[in-house]
Chains A and B, each alone.
Chain A
Amino acid sequence: MRGGVIVLLGLLSAATAFAGDVTNQMLLDAQGDAESWLTYGRNYSGWRYSELDEINTRTVKRLAPSWVFQTGVSGRLQTTPLVSDGVMYVTGHNNHAWALDLLTGRELWHYSKKPVKEAQGCCARPNRGFAILGDTLYKVNFGATLVALDAKTGDVLWEKVVADYKEGYSATAAPLIVKNMVLVGIAGAEFGTRDFLDAYDAKTGDRVWRFWTVPGPGEPGHETWGGDSWKRGGGSTWITGTYDPELNLIYWGTGNPGPDMNGDVRPGDNLYTCSVVALDADTGTLKWHFQFTPHDVHDWDAVADPVLVDLDVEGEKRKALIQANRNGHFYVLDRTTGEFLLARAYTEVTWADGIDAKGRPILIPGKDPTEEGNVACPGLGGGHNWHPTAYSPQTGLYYFDSVDGCHIYYRTTQGYIKGQWYQASTVGGVPDEPATGSIVALDPATGETKWRYEMVSSPSSGLLATAGGLVFGGDPQGYVTAFDAQTGKVLWKFQSGGSVAAAPITYRFRGKQYVTVAAGEAIMTFALMD
């Protein structure tokens, strides 16, 4: 009775591929798949735009919660949920993750792993989401590992060490699947690590390539680091990048150089920190780079979404890459060559008098951090930090949030000790001038602001744009909000009871459009009331 039991029970062989498996082709076509949300930025270009329009400027007033999933794990969720084949996958703080039933929000499985005690990071232990390929989910664990989970059960398939947490490395970004590889970014620049972007084989978890964001001896760019400062050069890759399949290029933003606020110990431009790097997808070799803030001393990471759009810039069609940079300027680059096309301030900027024709900031002297403290604007978190942004081809506008304010930047001298904070000082608020914030809609071809929604405090959430003429977002006080994408007018709001630090997503399930957003410790899903 060879295999008799199997036949008896009518089971399929274990090797069979299931209908719900996510393929590379599906990831390439993700924009057209209204039933799913398969990758961090929705499509490889990082648009966070959906063609769904059942929820629109007229109907949105009927939007109401359909279910809430309480994770029970403390920490403001930052996850971008993935949706595939009737199931939602979310990640939380401290190495937790869940699969939820789309119809009811009920938990199908829960994964958790106690974080290693010694692992440290700048800011709690958040996680920004899964990547999916086949029937396998990929996420990073905080102690700088990459874990593969079976999507149906949450079982661990393998877990690989990405870097040594004892040196100060940690991991929080959603991985990106490109061509059967899992791209994994790393954090640690506040601890004097030397950072990188890795690609792992999706099946085996073996590393395919590594790109060091701080070049080693003999590599081009190494000369931009005085002495041996490159060894502690930072350049974290803690937000998910984008991919252009036609050009076969991966785009990834990099963080601040280490130590953050004392640049004297690292004379030079400090490539490739505070930059966007364009890497060959197969080999990880650098095709071009663009550095927004050479020799940064204000912690202005350039990790914000590098969004890929085709634009008419000054009468010329361009395959562009746009970024709302933390240093206060919005940039447009040619994504084939890295050529600088334009930059424009979107918030108050006091450290530079514009950007020159090559894309280099024209510095205003005397704005660097000092022992006693020195005011500069924007503040340490920007401008626009890492919160997911949205591009709507319907309106042609680019949407992102901005902290509008300044900081007092302090510096000090500090020796490096492995695994210890290596920021060389800090910032403080400017007395009587609390930072406010806004959601900005601008024309990416010119950098001109079309509308601005002013907020009472620094914004916290990511954004979503839809063909319903809407932009969804949230705020730290707990409101989930829908804006008119053309005007910025608030058309709907809901007090979720949890500070919103994640980006909303949308999808169609059983013929109905849903919007889901993580608010506080909960996952909330909305649909139109019948």
Chain B
Amino acid sequence: MCSAQPSRTNPLNNSAADIDTGRATFRIYCAPCHGIGAAGGSGPDLTLGVYEVGDSDEDLFEVIQDGVNGTEMSGFGERMNDNTIWRILAYVRSVARRDAPVLTGDVTRGESIYQEKGGCAGCHRIAGTGGRLGPNLSRIGRTLSFARLQEALVEPSKNIAKGFDTITVVERDGEAVRGRQMSIDNFSVQLMDSREEIHSYLRDEVRSVEQEPKSLMPSYEGMLSGSEIDDVLAYLVSLRGDQ
């Protein structure tokens, strides 16, 4: 008996109709994270033609079916039948550009800018060390497209990461506490302040509550030079959760 199972390939013939159906399904289920054209959003850019999970049909089928444990990428196997997944894959294949951005920055320099000049570690954690006001960046190189990483540095308020909205509560005595909104409802607010202390307020016990459409993260445009930003980007792209 032959022991190794041959790797499964897409049994559909990737016809225009398959791609079209796959595209329509992608827009419903996947676009909220991967972007309407699959070029990335809060989830990775799927148009690069190379994938972290592997490039075979089977690798991609499995990640769509089972998801990536411990990340936003949940499995769709229980909601979709095999052919629906294969059609989505046909669509993903059809938009692959195979023109990954050329990284000009230097990872080592980027890391030291991250730690020192940029002060990024004060707000972000990597592999268990750093601050908590911003998202954990341990595998950010897997999750965000290059364009989104770039945007995060120069225009942080354009797309605010889920769970990291900014909120200011003015207490009765006039003291303003600004921080990361952890939860909000019609009667209460929970936030993490810049010292990473968690506060819980009943809204009728404070003077005001203001949600801001502005990131707690400063823009680094002008604060870091163009080449320093390239270095930081190279470092961010290298963060793949295996530190």
Contact = CB atoms under 8 A, between A and B. Distances in A.
Contact of B202 (A5, A19, A103, A153): A103
Nearest to A153: B132
Best-surrounded residue of B130, B132, B138 (most CB of chain A within 10 A):
B132
B177 interface: no
Interface residues of A, number: 38
Interface string A1-45: 111111011111111001110000000000000000000000000
A155 interface: yes
A5 B121 contact: no
Contact of A113 (B70, B118, B188, B202): B70
A87 B199 CA distance: 10
A3 B116 contact: yes
Nearest to A87: B198
A380 interface: no
A9 B129 CA distance: 19
Interface string A86-117: 11000000000000011110111100111000
A108 B182 CA distance: 6
Best-surrounded residue of A101, A107, A158 (most CB of chain B within 10 A):
A101
Interface string B106-139: 0000000000111101110100111111001010
Nearest to B120: A5
A11 B122 contact: yes
B75 interface: yes
B75 A11 contact: no
Contacts of A6: 119, 122
Interface in B159-205: 182-183, 185, 187-188, 190, 192, 194-198, 200, 202
B32 interface: no
B198 A108 contact: yes
A113 B69 contact: yes
A156 interface: yes
A157 interface: yes
A150 B195 contact: no
Contacts of A11: 119, 122-123, 131, 133, 194-195
Contact of B128 (A10, A113, A157): A157
A62 interface: no
B122 A13 contact: yes
B213 interface: no
Contacts of B188: 101, 103-104, 106
A152 B132 CA distance: 8
Q: How large is the interface on B (under 10, 10 to 19, 20 to 34, 35 or more residues)?
A: 35 or more
Contact of A14 (B66, B70, B75, B121): B121
Interface string B50-91: 000000000000000011011000010000000000000000
Contacts of A85: 198
A5 B132 CA distance: 15
Interface string A294-319: 00000000000000000000000000
Nearest to B202: A103
A417 to B, nearest CB: 22
Given A10-B194, A11-B131, A87-B198, A155 B136 contact: yes
Best-surrounded residue of A86, A87, A104 (most CB of chain B within 10 A):
A104
Contact of B218 (A5, A102, A112, A153): A5
Contacts of A13: 122
Given A113-B70, A155-B125, A14 B116 contact: no
B190 A101 contact: yes
Contacts of B125: 14, 150, 153, 155
Contacts of A106: 183, 185, 188, 190, 200
A387 B127 CA distance: 37
Interface in A262-295: none
Contacts of B202: 103-104
Contacts of B129: 14-15
Given A13-B122, A104-B190, A152-B196, 11 more contacts: A5-B223, A9-B122, A9-B194, A11-B194, A19-B197, A20-B197, A87-B198, A101-B182, A101-B188, A101-B198, A108-B190
Q: What 4 A-B pairs have minimum CB-CB distances, sorted nearest first?
A: A5-B119, A6-B119, A103-B200, A106-B183
Interface of B: 66-67, 69-70, 75, 116-119, 121-123, 125, 128-133, 136, 138, 182-183, 185, 187-188, 190, 192, 194-198, 200, 202, 218, 223
Interface of A: 1-6, 8-15, 18-20, 85-87, 101-104, 106-109, 112-114, 150, 152-153, 155-158
29 contacts: A1-B117, A2-B116, A3-B119, A4-B119, A5-B118, A6-B119, A9-B122, A9-B194, A11-B119, A11-B194, A18-B197, A19-B197, A20-B197, A87-B198, A101-B182, A101-B188, A101-B190, A101-B200, A102-B200, A104-B187, A106-B188, A108-B183, A108-B198, A114-B66, A114-B69, A114-B75, A152-B192, A153-B125, A153-B136
